Structure 1
Amino acid sequence: MAATGDAAYIKQINRSLILQKIIEKKMISRADLSKLTDLTRATISVQAADLLEKELVVETQLEHHSVGRRPIMLSINGQAGFVLGIDLDLGAMTFALSDLAGKVVRLETIPLQSDSYEEVVKTAAKNIRRIQSYCEESRYGLVSVVVGVHGLVTLEEHVHFVPRLGWTDVSLKTDLEEAAGLPITLENNANLCSFAERVYAHPEAKNLLGASFSSGIGLGMMMNEDFFKGENGFAGEAGHMIVVPNGRPCSCGNKGCWEQYGSESALFRELSVKKKQETITRADVIDWIQARDETVMEMMDEFLFYLSVGLNNMINLYNPNVVVLNSELLRFYPEAIKRIEAQLVSDISHYRELHISKLGKQACSLGACALGIKQFFHISTLQLEMD
């Protein structure tokens, strides 16, 4: 009995490794698969036949080949099924539908008329069912739904607290599964953003920090190619690290939290007072930056200072390979990276690369899609490209 179980386990490991390499290379021959995986050609042939029968891969014969027979290439059959990634935020939900090869085939944002828990669940379930109908003709249909939550999510996928929506201890996974009639995976949005950065932009980085600076500060940590979540799943709440003792009051109950100084929303609040303008938008600030408005440039320097203070602490704590900053403002601020790097001068602050995210607002939903693909194929690592 044990031998049978061991054989099945080894077969699954081999299959995962093969799928991982096919996804990574996008198109690869059986011979090259054997070289890359150190599996025998016989093992590759058996696995390939099984994957072809299940319609998870397809064969393509190269049109041009310099020497000998044209090799038959294997690639993922993206149209065999689909995954749905959802970014659940205040005021809107973004739905990204990806095929199994990682190509986003639908991307839409649905406004939320209410932040009522019941209404949000109802709206989410309605749109999940609607999008599921687009996938019905494929072999496997909608294989995964992953929802990114802007709040505390436990290891058991229970929503402990969503500050912007005012939710405390809600059973979103269970309620959404009952309403939509599908299995749902819940994950913290910052974790999904960092996962997206690793999968789509920095696949070589086993240790990556992804920090978002919009409504607050979210920190997602990839350590040895996996999420670092802590004891309960709440690791990464760096926005509530105190950087100014007895400073500005925060909704968490403390004073002087990082997100009260180093987030875009904090900058908007301060600018609203300085500019005597009730509502400040990101577009307003970008226009002022481009016009070199003196007040705004001074406040941006302060924003970058506090951003760097907290970032320095995070780098010292986790020693990442790559650090990615997700902020629309930084993309439009001249030499933002150089200005931040100039303030990360400690001899013990070690990281290799610092980047501004190119994924932007899509990072969470793309990370959710990528996680769904990874789970469906049961692979240990994933590498995709943007369209």
Structure 2
Amino acid sequence: MITGDASYIKKINRSLIIREIVKEGMISRADLSKLTALTRATISVQVSDLLEEELVVEKQLEHNSVGRRPIMLSINAKAGYTLGIDLDAGHISFLVTDLLGNSLSSATIHVESNSYNEILSLLTQQIAEYITKYSDNRYGIVGIVIAVHGLVSSNEEIHYIPRLGWSSVSLKTDLEKAVGIQIHIENNANLSSFAESVFWHHETDSLLSLTLYSGIGLGMIINNKFYRGHDGFAGEIGHMIVAPDGRPCECGNKGCWEKYASEASVLSTLAKQKKLPHVTYEQVRDWINSEDEEVLETMEQFINYLSIGINNIINIFNPETILVDSELLRIYPDSIDKIKQKLTSKTSHYKNLLISSIGEKSTILGACALAIQYFLDVPVLNLSHNFEKSSTEPTKK
């Protein structure tokens, strides 16, 4: 039984109720009482407050049996919006969702400059426009979370973003001063793992998510919480050395894993082989389908180096589920089976090794989901996976 200050108890009870309403989608007051072990009187008072705040709505179920039709409770998805931002070198992506994670609009801006001041100005302008555009309900934009592809400290300060060349910048503070709304900053791999947990893999509380696009990041959900390490820098697994005295890395070391097993490194290698300025996934798919020997050899090297790192991760963390977010793995036949065949150590134990079902948008979906969790103030968030509802609003730069 929870004891303590009355206001604190009320807050805990409110969190329990909201969590169950979100999880179930629709639920009656009676069932809420059973699931939360709270009295019907407590449920009645709390639900009355939530209805008044327009966070919850009532729905009456249609049914054919005799008796009163049950009154069901649902989260009012239209009460507010979240804004997720994926900040990467060369482009910035934006996603707006409702309070149940349904995608409402998305846009990507291509950015040539890596200048902190220029990108800060651009973000300030875009955020202000979104706040104005989505002010048509009670709460408007309820939360903004920005994903960055680099080191973020426990107090949300950006320590280092290799591809942007940023070190020790206070993006959170600068943006909050400019737009007058709270901003959260989070590592992209952490947000990817959060999206996997929230939208898809509810059954596990031990989940690792590898993102392989511009580098290699590791997001870790342990006991339904981010594992951040001492200063918040845990998960920079891309800088694990797999080839001593190997290729130089922006971090200052040589032979880092992401120089051999990230998609950027593979696509760069293929571009050099084909004497092209850049390579697309469609081209890689065509080369694979035509059994181009040089490309197949490069892909096998990619699989080999990827397997080395995954083997190390398994031995360190003993996870239940490992998800790998990679378009190259999706287009390369039997890629996961090839990796599993290389995980031959008798000391390695894991349950699931899967390619992400969400894909590259997991980062920005995770940003929106984290904003929802902050706003609803729930310890665990389970949302249905509505990935096909986003509309695109291209913005030009």
Same-fold call, TM cutoff 0.5: yes
| Paired residue type of 2:322 | V
- Cα offset for 1:283? 2.7
In the alignment, which residue of structure 2 is the partner of 1:189? Answer: 188
Counterpart CA distance in 1 for 2:105 and 2:64 is 35
Counterpart CA distance in 2 for 1:22 and 1:270 is 49
- Cα offset for 1:348? 1.9
In the alignment, which residue of structure 2 is the partner of 1:229? Answer: 228
| Paired residue type of 1:95 | F
- Cα offset for 1:5? 6.4
- Cα offset for 1:287? 2.1
Trace 1:150-189 onto structure 2 (pairs within 5 A).
150-189=149-188
- Cα offset for 1:68? 3.0
In the alignment, which residue of structure 1 is the partner of 2:316? Answer: 317
Contact 1:121 1:179 in 2 (8 A): no
Counterpart CA distance in 1 for 2:77 and 2:10 is 23
Range 343-352 or range 54-63, more displaced: 343-352
In the alignment, which residue of structure 2 is the partner of 1:144? Answer: 143
- Cα offset for 1:343? 1.2
In the alignment, which residue of structure 2 is the partner of 1:204? Answer: 203
Range 351-360 or range 283-292, more displaced: 283-292
1:329 aligns with 2:319: no
| Paired residue type of 2:117 | E
| Paired residue type of 2:122 | T
- What is the percent sequence identity of the aligned residues? 55
Counterpart CA distance in 1 for 2:13 and 2:324 is 36
Range 280-289 or range 310-319, more displaced: 280-289
In the alignment, which residue of structure 2 is the partner of 1:73? Answer: 72
In the alignment, which residue of structure 2 is the partner of 1:53? Answer: 52
Trace 1:121-140 onto structure 2 (pairs within 5 A).
121-140=120-139
SS at structure 2 position matched to 1:234? coil
In the alignment, which residue of structure 2 is the partner of 1:120? Answer: 119
Range 285-294 or range 82-91, more displaced: 285-294
| Deviations 1:116-162, CA, capped at 9 Å, x for gaps | 11111111111111111122121111111100011111111111111
Counterpart CA distance in 1 for 2:224 and 2:105 is 28
Range 332-341 or range 60-69, more displaced: 60-69
In the alignment, which residue of structure 1 is the partner of 2:389? Answer: none
SS at structure 2 position matched to 1:239? helix
| Deviations 1:321-356, CA, capped at 9 Å, x for gaps | 111100011111111111111111222211111111
Counterpart CA distance in 2 for 1:365 and 1:65 is 43
- Cα offset for 1:67? 5.0
Counterpart CA distance in 2 for 1:22 and 1:15 is 11
In the alignment, which residue of structure 1 is the partner of 2:257? Answer: 258
| Deviations 1:16-68, CA, capped at 9 Å, x for gaps | 01100100111111111111111111111111111101110000000125453
- Structure 2-normalised TM-score? 0.94
- Cα offset for 1:252? 1.2
In the alignment, which residue of structure 2 is the partner of 1:238? Answer: 237
Unaligned residue ranges in structure 2 (runs of 5+): 387-397
| Paired residue type of 1:324 | L
Range 130-139 or range 376-385, more displaced: 130-139
Counterpart CA distance in 2 for 1:98 and 1:276 is 42
- Cα offset for 1:4? 11
1:292 aligns with 2:294: no
Contact 2:3 2:9 in 1 (8 A): no
Compute the RMSD of aligned alpha carbons.
Answer: 1.5
SS at structure 1 position matched to 2:304? helix
| Paired residue type of 1:300 | M
Specify whether residues 74 and 284 from structure 1 end up closer, same or farther in structure 2 by C-alpha distance, changes over 3 A only.
Answer: same
- Structure 1-normalised TM-score? 0.96
| Paired residue type of 1:310 | G
In the alignment, which residue of structure 2 is the partner of 1:382? Answer: 381
Unaligned residue ranges in structure 1 (runs of 5+): none
Counterpart CA distance in 2 for 1:122 and 1:32 is 49
Contact 1:88 1:94 in 2 (8 A): yes
Specify whether residues 348 and 67 from structure 1 end up closer, same or farther in structure 2 by C-alpha distance, changes over 3 A only.
Answer: farther
| Paired residue type of 1:114 | S
Contact 1:122 1:179 in 2 (8 A): no
- Cα offset for 1:284? 1.9
Contact 1:374 1:382 in 2 (8 A): yes
SS at structure 1 position matched to 2:353? strand
Counterpart CA distance in 1 for 2:10 and 2:290 is 61
In the alignment, which residue of structure 2 is the partner of 1:37? Answer: 36
Counterpart CA distance in 1 for 2:175 and 2:282 is 34
- Cα offset for 1:294? 1.6
SS at structure 1 position matched to 2:221? strand
In the alignment, which residue of structure 1 is the partner of 2:367? Answer: 368
SS at structure 1 position matched to 2:361? helix
SS at structure 2 position matched to 1:382? coil
1:85 aligns with 2:84: yes
Equivalent residue pairs, number:
385
SS at structure 2 position matched to 1:280? coil
Counterpart CA distance in 2 for 1:40 and 1:195 is 32
| Paired residue type of 1:46 | V
